[in-house]
Amino acid sequence: MNRRETNDPTGAPHFHYSRAERLVYDPANEAKKKPESIFKRNRSLAIILIDLAVILLIYVIYLIFLAPDASTARMSSFEFRLRAVQFGDDVLVTLAVESLSDAGSPNVVGEGILELVLSDQDGAELLRRIETPPEPGGDRVIREIITDYRPPRDQGRIFADLQLGENRTRVWASVSRE
């Protein structure tokens, strides 16, 4: 069937028939062949799966390298950083508050009181404290010792609920052992 039609010396067209070539293209033989993979049969499915894999890879890279730290938060013109360290039966908690506004600029109205509530992962309140935020351009470190508290061995976390005026945020830090 791969051969071209030829002409008789008389000039009449004629087709060369080959039974061996016809049997090679037998549909019964096609069914006996190994089936192709799903990706060879459907190229668009392969492209969609590759796209999903690339998106998943970008998301994992974001989570590992670019995601914001859960122990750091920004609220209004302040940045909060929480750290918790276990020392014996006590947990030492440090909250650093830094003013992001320039020195000499006035604070926003309603930002005169900072309410801090420390709790564990079960929601039990460990400490409630009211502080004044730092002056513009300054910083303040709030340190507390939580006595007779032993966080769970695997995932000890301390949560800090912060309220500054009408704004609220929550930061958490894993309790490290030193």
178 vs 118: which has the higher pLDDT = 118
- Mean pLDDT, the chain, as a whole number? 78
Q: Which of 23-32, 141-150, 152-161 has the lowest mean pLDDT?
A: 23-32
58 pLDDT above the threshold of 90 = yes
Cα–Cα distances in angstroms (integers) from residue 33 to residues 2, 36, 40, 43, in the given order:
22, 9, 15, 20
Strand pairing of 114-120 and 157-164? antiparallel
As a whole number of angstroms, the distance between CA 18 and CA 23 comes to 9
60 vs 132: which has the higher pLDDT = 60
State mean pLDDT over 154-174: 82
Closest by CA to 97, choosing from 169, 23, 33, 41, is 169
What percent of the chain is predicted at pLDDT more than 70?
A: 74
User: For residue 109, what pLDDT is reported?
Assistant: 47
107 vs 141: which has the higher pLDDT = 141
Q: What number of H helices and E strands is found in the chain?
A: 4, 10
Name all domains of the chain by residue range, CATH numbers in brackets.
6-66 (no CATH), 72-177 (2.60.40.150)
As a whole number of angstroms, the distance between CA 84 and CA 127 comes to 14
